[in-house]
Amino acid sequence: MDLLLKLHYIRALYFFDNHAAQGLSIYDLKKPMFPLLDHVTHLSGRIRISESGRPFIKCNDAGVRIAESHSHLTLREWFHQNGSSLHHALLPNHVLGPDLGFSPLVFLKFTWFKCGGLSVGLSWSHVLGDAFSAFNFITKWSRILAGHALPKTLHVQHHRPTPSPPHNNGNHGTPISVKMATTVEDLWLATNDTKMVTHTFHVTPNQLDHLVTSMFTCDENQADDTSYFKILSALLWKHVARIRDSEPKIVTVLTRGGGSDDFPANDVVISVVEADVAVGKSDVADLAKLIGEEKRVENGVVEKLVEEKENLVVYGARLTFVDLEEDGIYEVLLNGEKPVVVNCGVGGVGDDGVVLVLPGLQDEEDGRSGRMLTVTLPEKEVEQLKEKLREEWGPPATTPVTTRASPSAPLHFGQSTPTPASTTVATPRDLQSGDRCATTLRQARTATGDDGHHRRKIYQRQRDLLLLRSSPTT
């Protein structure tokens, strides 16, 4: 699985305010890398090619690469101009090659802002492990920085069989989730036939509630069982199908396999979903059900292709949806403070594009998190997708977003910028239909967990408002 993903890179960006970065120097930030790399020694190695032509990592303590830069902007000014986008000025844009023996597998960039804030940019070679492995690497770094010791036990990576649904038949035949790649000279990077652009959409907790209530007005059980990842993936699948001349009938879904965080690994489940309907005209609820119930796992068959020494693209070979909803991305702490916001993208995406669903900003009132959609698509499709979601949720808002670390200092996320990676905030349309409120109130009674409790409160307020409006005056 590692070699299957060798042409891809995980790029994560963490923003911290001045309270979190207070008193830290570049020496303080670099020092934890030494004990951390003793714990996972292969991360500081280099790629070598065996006589048989198979790549491997030589553990030669060559190290990771660290860069430092300074911005003339405050963190507030940066957000106003660029949002939380994966901006090239904050992220190392490294790839492996052309001389593999000198190419670091991990590259970090620390950027100091004028106000004392800090960003941590990580470029992580996917051959080392999946996105959760990258997040865990930064989390362990922050724990060492805080004075916590890592376990001294020797962790050995064990092969974990990929779980498959009972109806899965994806281990036979030709895989459809990957495509052959043409690399750029001697670089471990696939070429593109079109200009790809990355853009981030923020979805608030209230938007998520409204999205669920508008989709599942009749099927309350499906509303309870469907994750936000499936709903948002279905929504974007439908809109991309409307944009493209040829609908994407087949999409790839990447989810976590459920392995341990102790050792970096590509514990990712690669599945495909095929639609035999007109996707652009389908209900989002039906597409979400399709994603949830009709996935066909292809790990077994795609891993066999690696033995044939082929260069393959996974992300973007088909329109790809990646589930990164788990909140572990915000477990990184500096001086006991969480990041203001975290974003993540993928390098080496194919022409069909990728959508990453991540945890979003936290609501300071009820503690719930929204979602972030980081999409990498052909440039013209990104502009059209903005319009489609503007029609779905209304015009972009400039409402201040409160930071996690400093509730008294709201940050404004500006409108989309002309840079390749940009950020926008959408506002949902008001849903006040009496029939819809009555139906969703029944759904709320069957919901469980924190989200279910919050939905019950939302629906109860909607019903009370309707009763108040319809009550006769005396």
Once rounded to an integer, what is the mean pLDDT over residues 312-339?
Answer: 93
Once rounded to an integer, what is the mean pLDDT over residues 452-472?
Answer: 40
Buried-state track 345-383, b at ≥16 Cβ within 10 A, e below 16: bbbbbbbbbbbbbbbbbbbeeeebbbbbbbbbbbeebbe
* Residue 432 scores a pLDDT above 70: no
Give percent of the chain with pLDDT exceeding 90. 55
Q: Given this model, what pLDDT does residue 204 score?
A: 87
CA 225 from chain centre, in angstroms, equals: 21
* Residue 41 scores a pLDDT above 50: yes
Q: Given this model, what pLDDT does residue 257 score?
A: 84
pLDDT digits (tens, 9 = 90+) for 231-287: 999 999 999 999 998 889 999 999 998 766 678 989 899 999 999 999 999 999 999
* Homologous superfamily of domain range 3-153+170-425: Chloramphenicol acetyltransferase-like domain (3.30.559.10)
* Residue 154 scores a pLDDT above 70: no
pLDDT digits (tens, 9 = 90+) for 198-242: 999 999 888 888 888 887 665 555 555 678 999 999 999 999 999
Q: Given this model, what pLDDT does residue 376 score?
A: 97
Once rounded to an integer, what is the mean pLDDT over residues 413-435?
Answer: 34
- Pick from 70, 120, 182: nearest CA to 329: 120
Q: Which two tokens stand for residue 225?
A: 């069982």
Q: Given this model, what pLDDT does residue 392 score?
A: 78
DSSP string, 274-306: E--S-GGGS-HHHHHHHHHH--EE-HHHHHHHH
Report domain extents, the chain: 3-153+170-425, 434-470
Alpha-carbon distance of 187 to 418, in angstroms, equals 28
pLDDT band per the 50, 70, 90 thresholds, residue 303: confident
Between residues 140 and 460, the one the model is more confident about: 140
- Pick from 6, 5, 265, 10: nearest CA to 122: 10
Query: Residues 165-173: contacts with CB within 8 Å, 24+ apart?
Result: 165/295, 165/297, 167/296, 168/295, 168/296, 168/297, 169/296, 170/271, 170/272, 170/296, 170/297, 170/298, 170/299, 170/300, 170/301, 171/297, 171/298, 171/299, 171/300, 171/301, 172/301, 173/301
- Pick from 383, 369, 387, 315: nearest CA to 345: 315
* Residue 463 scores a pLDDT above 50: no
The model's pTM is 0.81
pLDDT band per the 50, 70, 90 thresholds, residue 418: very low
Alpha-carbon distance of 299 to 218, in angstroms, equals 36
Q: Which of helix, strand or coil describes residue 349? A: coil
Q: Given this model, what pLDDT does residue 374 score?
A: 97
Largest pairwise CA distance in the chain: 91
* Residue 466 scores a pLDDT above 70: no
Q: Which two tokens stand for residue 94?
A: 């490294």
Cβ contact 245:176 at 8 Å: no
